[in-house]
Structure 1
Amino acid sequence: MTSSDFNRIRHLTFVLINAYHSVNSAATQEALYAQISDEMYQLSETLAPFIRDIKSPTLTKEGAEKLLASVKDEVVPFEFPTKAVIQKLFNKVKKLQVPEVDHLELRDYTYFAWNDLASHRKYMLVKHAGQMRGIYGTIGTDTKKNTCAICSQTSQVVQFMALTKSNVDGTYTKNGNYICLDSDACNHQMQHELGLANFVSTVLPK
């Protein structure tokens, strides 16, 4: 199970709890439960005990958090590369500053990224097509509230632009999109990986 899968499960769980406490129709509650349980089964068949446990109109948010803690144990942590591997992924970058991650819960990450405010760059480590990729690009100085291309949630976004192609005449092409300025928040909001995959395909060098 990925971090984004867990985020989706958590979101669906609280949608169901809100319905338990705001919708009086038992039939409506049961229909929503059936829809949500089906989606959860599609994410992981190991969720069967959890799905049974949330079939309770008296379930509280506090109770759900306790149940979700056991589900999170099944999340595969993001495989953070060694500093030597990261240097190789960003071999064109001089004096790369790599953040320490020992204090982080890597189960919370589908990808990892950090901002270098001095150079106005964002660096990203992403598993794409079965291999770890290092991507970097410039980020603007202005943020705005809009939809992030990666997590598909409304957030404070910034324009990210990466060099994607060098032409024979010496010119080059840049591509990118608006993504969350805070990549930690982006990871916590992500409920599927389609946006991330599309974004990476756009900004990878051609």
Structure 2
Amino acid sequence: MDAFIQPHQYHYIKQQVKKIVSAQANSNDSQVIQAVKEIAMEELEKQLDHLSEEQKEILSAIQTMKDREDIDPFLQQLKQYVISFPLISEKQLQKAFPKVKKLKMPDLEPFDRKETVYLRWDDVSLNKTFMLIPKDEKLIGVQGQLDTTQQKGICSLCNGLENVSLFTSAKKGQMRGTYSKRGNYICKDPISCNQNIATLQLLHNFIDRLQA
């Protein structure tokens, strides 16, 4: 079977699985546990619309879970159906950042592409942070500077409570030669950030704010 799950949907499935296992650990009421399972399946089918019966059957295995030890084997099995974040060519990078000269190709080695929703990396030589964010079947390029200091806070991209730093980007003003800066607090660690993302909405809102 072909891959049919996007990385953010995979993270959403993980969240639902943990809810089911938590309900079973904290309740002895079989009706409550069954209700949690049914709600989880309904939510998954909303998130992953147009599922075939075979695809639904794969996801239905979450209803057989009994404890935390069942989570990892299920997720490993499910991972083969996750669509990997695409490998980036130099041409795609140039298209996403047409005005950036001598931009180095990002190192994908640290990333599990099946758990990568968006790509973020630092280019030390340019003293900038770059992102490639999926939107409308395209990869949108975002660039700016990520502050070296960090604090505990809510990330604008994943809504997780993590160590965050201020990301600022410049936008041309209406008058020639003027710029305005936009700032958002985002996770210091892009891998943790990706693993928290269960919906693309915050990523798209982030892009919209920068482009407004």
Question: TM-score scaled to structure 2, two decimals?
Answer: 0.86
What are the Cα deviations for residues 172-192 of structure 1, in whole angstroms up to 9, with x where unaligned? Answer: 112131111111111111111
In structure 1, the partner of 2:186 is 179
* Structure-2 residue corresponding to 1:42: 46
Mean alpha-carbon deviation: is it higher for 13-22 or for 100-109? 100-109
Runs (5+) with no aligned partner, structure 2: none
Residues 203 and 89 of structure 1, relative CA distance in 2, 3 Å threshold: same
Instruction: State whether residues 24 and 67 of structure 2, in contact with CA within 8 Å, keep that contact through their aligned partners in structure 1.
Output: no
Match of 1:192 in 2: 199
Deviations 1:86-117 (A, max 9, x none): 13422322332323325643111111001235
In the alignment, which residue of structure 1 is the partner of 2:166?
159
Greater alpha carbon shift after TM alignment, 71-80 vs 101-110: 101-110
- Does structure 2 retain, via aligned residues, the 8 Å contact 1:176–1:199? no
Cα distance, 1:120 vs. partner?
A: 4.5
Of 64, 67, 84 in structure 1, the residue corresponding to residue 91 of structure 2 is 84
Q: Which residue of 2 aligns with 1:116?
A: 123
Question: What is the 5 A alignment of 1:28-107?
Answer: 28-44=32-48, 45-46=51-52, 47-56=55-64, 59-101=66-108, 104-107=111-114
Q: Which residue of 1 aligns with 2:17?
A: 13
Structure 1 residues 182 and 103: alpha-carbon distance in aligned structure 2, compared to 1, 3 A threshold: closer
Does the CA contact (< 8 Å) of 1:125 and 1:133 recur in 2? yes
Larger mean CA deviation between 89-98 and 193-202 belongs to 89-98
Find the aligned partners of 1:43 and 1:98 in 2 and give their Cα distance.
Answer: 33
TM-score by length of 1: 0.88
> Counterpart of 2:78 in 1: which secondary structure?
helix
Unaligned runs of 5+ in 1: none
Residue-by-residue CA offset, 1:118-142 (whole Å, 9 max, x unaligned): 6542100112233222110011121
User: In the aligned structure 2, how far is the partner of 1:148 from the partner of 1:103?
Assistant: 21
TM-superposed CA distance for 1:169, in Å, is 4.7
**19, 22, 26: which one aligns with 1:22:** 26
- Contact kept? 1:83, 1:98, Cα under 8 Å: yes
> Does the residue aligned with 1:164 lie in a helix, a strand or coil?
strand
Aligned letter for 1:18?
Answer: S
